[in-house]
Amino acid sequence: MCNEMGCLRDLPRVEKDDGWTSPYSPEVQQASGMIAAQVKCPIEDAISKMWDRADADNVSIDDIAAGVLNRTIQFTDSY
């Protein structure tokens, strides 16, 4: 999924001894899985939805992830 900031597939990955890993915190990764299940979309789209919501609410993606994890933020197809 792409937006004006670029494409998710083009984001840098962090190389570790055991392979490649996501640049996102464990909380963002967990929240993206919850969102993907809620709206039945790929993880990449869930992360994009989190970025869109963070931009709209003028907060960080970590703030959105915290809201998803404590269930104060839920996603629908509209975000």
Across all residues in the chain, what is the average pLDDT?
81
Residue 8 has pLDDT above 60, yes or no: no
Domain range summary for the chain, segments of one domain joined by +: 25-79
What Rg do the C-alpha atoms of the chain give, in angstroms? 12
| Nearest Cα to Cα of residue 47 among 70, 66, 67, 30 | 30
Q: What is the pLDDT of residues 29-66, one digit of tens each?
A: 999 999 999 999 999 999 999 999 999 999 999 999 99
Length of the chain (residues): 79
| Rounded CA separation 68/31 (Å) | 6
Check: pTM over 0.95? Answer yes or no.
no
Cα 4 from chain centre? 16
